[in-house]
Structure 1
Amino acid sequence: MNLVFSPPPSVTVPVAGSNDAFPVRRIYCVGRNYAAHAREMGFDPDREPPFFFCKPADAIVYVAPGTTGQFPYPAQTENCHYEMELVAAIGLGGRDIAPDDALEHVFGYALGLDMTRRDLQMEMRKMGRPWDIGKAFDHSAPIGPIHRAAQIGHPLQGTIWLEVNGQTVQRADIAQLIWPVAETVAYLSHFFELVPGDLIYTGTPEGVGPVIKGDTMHGGIEGLGEFRLDVV
């Protein structure tokens, strides 16, 4: 059987400190996983079951350490928001994973941004429609290199922060995740078979807000370094 056209190249993210690359399969994102962010979005932060949305693998924008990446301002929005996040990379697949076993399935961790066309997301939410045009657009998933858990361990606490044009806009601790990585992986595995190459953006702290062309975003997570992107 012949392919009717050549398939696009695989999306990969470099692995820190090596020549290896992590091939990306799916991107799962957790919604409202910090209590203060839930409040700022107008929701009760009680610990309800997590919910998820997806982005396509080719939404990845890789930002190498020591460089300044570029985030193209998306079309059809006047209110594009940043959301700084811890990303967990799945290296061992499975279904119905027990929470006590879940971290064995995590290959490593990275910095990530869940960029959001907030005006479109809110419009879709009011109409009871999916969020895809607000969340799953091109270039909406900037990411830094993946750090192997075998080398850095599994970060359970540490400062997560973001600056825009030198002003701190988000600052929290990943220990404040309502659903920590292990519980998130376990819960998600009841609904999808997790496969090596899956990425999980674990949610953002409070302080989300807009960027415009010409802004610079600079963020990091303790133990995972930092990255910088210009909005172009």
Structure 2
Amino acid sequence: MVTDLYVHATETNVDLFAQMASALGIDTIAAPSPQDADPVRYLDRVKIVRRVDLRGKIISALKTQTLQNRRCAVILAVPLRGVNTANWAAEDPRIDLLTVTSTNREHQLKTTTAHLAADGDTALEIPLRPLVINRGLDRSLILKAFREAVSVALSAGMQVVISSHARHPLEMRSGPAIEFVGTILELDRKYCRDAMRWADNRISRNEQRLDPDFIAPGLEVVRRGVHR
């Protein structure tokens, strides 16, 4: 199964992303969608799941957004910003991804955060798009920041995933292409294939949480009735 955990599709062009995904052999894509839209749907035999990127500089704001979205989104991601918010996200089992969004050293993955994320099975997300659209020195700086983040994550046992972050269908990449990018980030091809399986398993797990009868892993309401 090939999964792309983020494409920047909209309701007006999501069908084009689905067509490209199908052509590239991608089975599942995660994309933003309106809160009242189905969190899981299919187009061109491609599964499209709702993703929400939480925004905010303080933990209370992130907690509020998490409560609002966990039951109506399949993937929740938090950008790597301050240490406090990153550590909170790494420890919260409802958060799936910590996304590298900047070359600013203050926003890079810290060892403590990586260990917390490894314990909570929160993955480090590397966005492919900055490597696709940049050239020269800018691209070199981005690649350096990504490699450093990957190194910290791997040393701590934190899962690493690569997502296209495509804003146009032509920026999407196939599974083998993602594996190649992984080698540039010093991840071997087998690791990249295992990372795609991790992404697929995470989506399957989170889909269960959308069930109104879900209580906790392994627990659900099996009968409803009026107590007498």
TM-score, reference length from structure 2: 0.24
- Report the structure, 1 or 2, having the larger helix content: 2
TM-score, reference length from structure 1: 0.24
Bigger Rg, which one: 2
Give the structure, 1 or 2, with the largest relative contact order (CA under 8 Å, sep 6 or more).
1
- Report the structure, 1 or 2, having the larger strand content: 1
